[in-house]
Amino acid sequence: MRIDRLTLEHFRNYNRQDVAFDTDCNVIFGENAQGKTNLLEAIQYLSCGHSSRAKSDRELIGFQAENALIQGQIFARDREFVLRTELYREKRRKLWVNKVPAKTSSELSQVFQTVFFCPEDLLLIREGAAARRKFLDQALCQLRPRYAAALAAYRRVYAHKTRILRDCEEQPGLLDMLPEFNERLIQSGAVIIHYRAQFTEKLAVCAAANHADCSGGKEKLSVNYKTVSTVLNPLEGLPLLTDQLRAHMESHKQAELGSRLCLSGPHKDDLLVEIDGRDAKTYSSQGQTRTAALSLKLAEREIYKNVTGEAPILLLDDVLSELDPRRQEFVLNRISGGQVFITCCEDDRLPVLLGGKVFHIAAGKVLESF
């Protein structure tokens, strides 16, 4: 899988840009605030209709513009695809796959997948459970359309249930709907748990191998999926998971009515990441945190490759600058075997290390490529 060409119009600080990429390695360099991350962000958006750093599509539209365009020529499954997204300030975005309108972003993900690693991904280890759920959700939404649908359904019903619990004192009749909403949460929630558990099992193996390599075999990384307490083994089949989640919901019923909040469920799931048996969130050093986060992201790419037969595009934003030479070498050795985009502020060392095409970005323009 690869992206051969990218066209941008009024995307962030790019006015109009058309750029042809190398099939393997693309090095993007330039000073701060020129548009390096923006370029990777555009590629990520094309793969999943989502940017990991923007809260809304509006942020992506050039300050002076009303709408933005991202279009990419993709080669996947032995054929060419054109993916196109148009973003508007005042109305919903539009997506196309080969000129056919796409209803949801999973239609983009079925063609084109990316794994994005940026400095903020260190929060994956350091922050609360929400950061790790986001990682799982983003990976699985691209990989499994059924997961994306279950997650969207869960979120919709969760929002409804939250409103019911909030307003039920003033409108007690709302409570009549609660059993049906609970059942819908159980059905979509069980699918979510099922996919998260399967994914984490593979992730744990790949990430541990990456981390061991990167640390010269000195450190042991372990990753475990934590979900609701009634689910004893999340790798069990869906019917059992559904029953266990129903039991969980039952046991929280009174407490939920008392607190008027949705208390527990897969929306509280977490990944327990440990290095040498200790919680990485609490005890890991800066270097260990970075290595663990990177090991997880590279594992995500390997899993995709195993599942789909094609490696997703790897987008590495500013990863090398803070790694020591040994860890840099590890990363550079690991990234081959698929198309890679890597940004950096220096212009001399990376091109020699990686080969491929080199792009210089200045003030929202791709100035040269050689």
**Which residues would be at the binding site for ligand ATP (CB under 6 A)?**
12-13, 30, 32-38, 59, 61-63, 345
Contact (CB, 8 A) for 212 and 219: yes
Assess 339 for contact with Mg ion (CB under 5 A).
Answer: no
Alpha helices in the chain (DSSP H): 36-48, 106-109, 123-126, 129-143, 145-167, 178-214, 238-251, 253-259, 280-283, 286-308, 325-334, 349-354
User: Choosing among Mg ion, ligand ATP, none, which partner's interface includes residue 282 (Cβ < 5 to 8 Å by kind)?
Assistant: none
Strand partners, 218: none
The residue (of 59 and 322) whose beta carbon lies closer to ligand ATP is 59
In angstroms, the CA 180 to CA 161 distance is 10
Least Å distance, CB 42 to ligand ATP, is: 10
Least Å distance, CB 233 to ligand ATP, is: 43
Contact (CB, 8 A) for 105 and 50: yes
User: Choosing among Mg ion, ligand ATP, none, which partner's interface includes residue 17 (Cβ < 5 to 8 Å by kind)?
Assistant: none
The sign one gets for the Cα dihedral 321, 325, 330, 333 is positive
The residue (of 36 and 132) whose beta carbon lies closer to Mg ion is 36
In angstroms, the CA 161 to CA 87 distance is 31
User: Choosing among Mg ion, ligand ATP, none, which partner's interface includes residue 175 (Cβ < 5 to 8 Å by kind)?
Assistant: none
Least Å distance, CB 67 to ligand ATP, is: 12
| Cβ neighbour number for residue 337 with a 10 Å cutoff | 12
User: Choosing among ligand ATP, Mg ion, none, which partner's interface includes residue 26 (Cβ < 5 to 8 Å by kind)?
Assistant: none
In angstroms, the CA 237 to CA 215 distance is 36
Q: Which of 7, 17, 26, 37 is in the footprint of Mg ion by CB under 5 A?
A: 37
The residue (of 177 and 363) whose beta carbon lies closer to ligand ATP is 363
Distance of CA 79 to the CA centre of its chain: 25
Contact (CB, 8 A) for 6 and 42: yes
Assess 114 for contact with Mg ion (CB under 5 A).
Answer: no
Assess 200 for contact with Mg ion (CB under 5 A).
Answer: no
Give the binding-site size for Mg ion (rule: CB under 5 A): 2
User: Choosing among ligand ATP, Mg ion, none, which partner's interface includes residue 207 (Cβ < 5 to 8 Å by kind)?
Assistant: none
| Cβ neighbour number for residue 232 with a 10 Å cutoff | 8
Least Å distance, CB 330 to Mg ion, is: 22
Strand partners, 210: none
Judged by DSSP in three states, 366 sits in: strand
The sign one gets for the Cα dihedral 166, 171, 176, 180 is negative
Which structure tokens are listed for 42? 């555009």
Least Å distance, CB 341 to ligand ATP, is: 12
Least Å distance, CB 35 to Mg ion, is: 9
Distance of CA 68 to the CA centre of its chain: 22
Assess 44 for contact with Mg ion (CB under 5 A).
Answer: no
Least Å distance, CB 9 to Mg ion, is: 21
User: Choosing among ligand ATP, Mg ion, none, which partner's interface includes residue 234 (Cβ < 5 to 8 Å by kind)?
Assistant: none
Least Å distance, CB 118 to ligand ATP, is: 9
The residue with tokens 């995307």 is: 11
Assess 34 for contact with Mg ion (CB under 5 A).
Answer: no
User: Choosing among ligand ATP, Mg ion, none, which partner's interface includes residue 33 (Cβ < 5 to 8 Å by kind)?
Assistant: ligand ATP
Could you list the residues that contact Mg ion (CB under 5 A)? 36-37
